[in-house]
Amino acid sequence: MDTTVLPTVNALLNSVSAVSLIAGWRFVKRGNVAAHRRCMLTAVCASSLFLCSYLTYHFLHGTTRFIGTGGMRQLYFTILISHTILAATVVPLVGTTLYRISKGQVDKHRRIARWTLPIWLYVSVTGVTVYLMLYSSYPHRLRSAVIP
């Protein structure tokens, strides 16, 4: 398998998470709990696959350095640092949110989910943003990663 496509796969998985989270939020606001459940479990699967793919890529290829300069560099690292801190924070939040609903603690689920959902969405969207900023600083890599 050509593992150089994994960064593109990762960005797609982050996009699936983001879209599923937005759809799941809209469904629960309309009272459709079954669709909310499906969307949230889709987001959990996409984010779990992302984590496996991310770790595999970094194990095999190490770190790709951002080569942009000036304001773009500052913006890139601001997004990357906030993304990394919140990505670590969201893992126990997702676990607790799921645990509470699995125990039928709907009120407690609702209370923590109001934090989990926006943080998770920020992590998913900034995951795609970091990918686009990183690989557009290496135009040839973006082309070779996107076009097989």
Q: Which residues bind to ligand HEM, rule: CB under 6 A?
A: 25, 28, 33, 36-37, 40-41, 94, 97-98, 101, 106, 109-110, 113-114, 116-117
DSSP annotation of 138 reads S
Element holding 76 (H helix, E strand): helix 70-102
> Shortest Cβ distance from residue 43 to ligand HEM (Å)?
7
Calpha distance 22→3 (Å, rounded): 30
Residue nearest to ligand HEM (CB): 113
Q: Smaller CB distance to ligand HEM: residue 7 or 127? A: 127
> Shortest Cβ distance from residue 39 to ligand HEM (Å)?
8
> Shortest Cβ distance from residue 107 to ligand HEM (Å)?
8
Residues sharing a CB contact under 8 Å with residue 71, sequence separation 6 or more, in sequence order: none
For the chain, how many helices (H) and strands (E)? Answer: 5, 0
Q: Smaller CB distance to ligand HEM: residue 48 or 78? A: 48
Element holding 62 (H helix, E strand): none
> Shortest Cβ distance from residue 109 to ligand HEM (Å)?
5
Query: N- to C-terminal Cα distance for the chain?
Result: 12
